[in-house]
């Protein structure tokens, strides 16, 4: 089908360049998929052709600091206020007033900020793994939601978010270890969820205690590729982009917690538009199956749909069929006005 072909595009403004992948009819209802750390537009490779085939215009940008989008050499350039502006400019460049936004990992604070600050540019918002009113509100909010039964305060002051504090304290060291071999880094990171980890502290809770992501090692250890998440071709694309751009930009997203919290401070935190949250049962960092991490979202979203997927953190790649089915079901039931109809433009 011609509409399921994925094409590559660039959108330029005076302030930023966004590279994005696109599939589907140009007048189809617009879905924009926003990736997180340390990924690419490629991370939505299982979603773009499926939703294009349904008649949507499916878009996945490389976020700033990634792929073929603009890179910057200061931490503050990666604050959410700039990332959100990138997405609004992209929406304008696509000639649309609104989109359905789908975020994952650091893409989730972006779509949550769009929903909170720019609801007029959103038909609806979906998030994978990262609930509303958590990371979008900064590190202090996350720490306040830590499960202290699993992470006693005296032993784990930052809980599973210890690695975020590590970036703030040891940014150059953290980035250098990833940059030492980007291929080994992503080969280690991109793997499916492990049911055996339930009920145990996440490995991210000991990063500072261990002296780094990989302890004393100067680079990621050489682990077998997980074929249930990525192919060798996928890994090569991720690694090439990260080697070219370095991890400075991706890691700098973790250096703006106070600025990100200030962006939304003083604004209404209630969301009335349709919201979808896909929790990952085996994501022990963004753990929502048994902890209270998602409770603030449940209190603040009046039209919330939730699914719990038997997946680890890289849900869109590990469990694409379940993710696609949940998104399609939600769109058809909760956002029927954007469901593609033959002969009708998307917006």
How far, in Å, CA of 178 to CA of 174, rounded? 7
Is there a catalytic annotation at residue 313? yes
Q: Which two tokens stand for residue 173?
A: 């060291």
Within 10 angstroms of residue 170's Cβ, the number of other Cβ atoms is: 16
Residue 137 to residue 112: CA distance in whole angstroms: 10
DSSP conformation class of 22: E
* Structure token pair of residue 197: 């980890």
Give strand pairing partners of 57: 30
Catalytic pick among 105, 181, 251, 269: 105
DSSP-derived secondary structure for 150-208: TS-TTT-TTGGGHHHHHHHHSHHHHHHHHHH-HHHHHHHH-----GGGTTS--GGGGHH
Q: SS3 for 300?
A: helix
Four-point Cα dihedral 38, 91, 308, 336, nearest 10: -160
- The question of whether 105 is a catalytic residue gets the answer yes
* 340 vs 346: CA distance, rounded Å: 7
Q: What is the gyration radius of the CA atoms in the chain, in angstroms?
A: 19
CB 209: neighbour CB atoms within 10 A?
A: 11
Interacting residues of 105 by C-beta distance below 8 A, sequence separation 6+: 35, 36, 37, 39, 128, 129, 130, 313
Count of beta carbons in the 10 Å neighbourhood of residue 245: 20
Is the separation of the CB atoms in 113 and 85 below 8 Å? Answer: no
Q: Per the structure block, which two tokens stand in for 271?
A: 């969301």
Whether the CA torsion 106, 112, 113, 114 is positive or negative: it is positive
Strands of 262-316, DSSP E: 275-280, 304-309
**What are the catalytic residues?**
105, 313
């Amino acid at each position: 089908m011609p509409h399921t072909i994925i094409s590559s595009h660039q959108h330029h403004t005076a302030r930023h360049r966004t590279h994005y992948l696109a599939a589907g009819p140009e007048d189809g209802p617009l879905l924009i998929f926003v990736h997180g750390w340390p990924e690419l537009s490629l991370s939505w490779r299982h979603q773009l052709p499926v939703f294009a085939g349904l008649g949507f215009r499916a878009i996945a940008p490389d976020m700033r600091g990634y792929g073929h989008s603009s890179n910057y050499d200061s931490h503050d350039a990666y604050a959410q206020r700039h990332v959100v502006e990138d997405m609004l400019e992209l929406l304008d460049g696509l000639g649309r007033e609104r989109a359905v936004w789908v975020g994952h990992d650091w893409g989730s604070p972006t779509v949550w900020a769009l929903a909170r600050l720019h609801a007029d540019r959103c038909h609806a918002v979906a998030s994978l793994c990262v609930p509303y009113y958590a990371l979008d509100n900064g590190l202090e909010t996350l720490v306040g939601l830590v499960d202290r039964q699993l992470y006693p305060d005296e032993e784990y002051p930052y809980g599973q978010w210890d690695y975020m504090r590590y970036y703030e304290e040891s940014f150059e060291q953290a980035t250098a270890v990833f940059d030492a071999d980007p291929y080994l880094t992503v080969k280690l990171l991109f793997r499916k969820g492990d049911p055996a980890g339930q009920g145990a502290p996440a490995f991210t809770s000991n990063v500072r205690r261990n002296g780094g992501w990989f302890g004393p090692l100067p680079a990621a250890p050489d682990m077998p590729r997980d074929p249930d998440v990525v192919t060798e071709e996928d890994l090569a694309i991720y690694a090439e982009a990260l080697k070219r751009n370095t991890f400075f930009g991706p890691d700098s997203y973790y250096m703006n917690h106070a600025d990100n919290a200030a962006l939304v401070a003083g604004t209404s935190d209630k969301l009335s538009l349709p919201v979808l949250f896909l929790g990952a049962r085996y994501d022990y960092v963004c753990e929502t199956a048994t902890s209270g991490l998602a409770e603030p979202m449940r209190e603040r979203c009046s039209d919330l749909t939730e699914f719990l997927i038997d997946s680890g953190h890289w849900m869109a790649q590990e469990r694409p069929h379940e993710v696609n089915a949940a998104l399609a079901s939600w769109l058809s039931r909760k956002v029927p006005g954007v469901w593609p109809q033959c002969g009708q433009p998307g917006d």
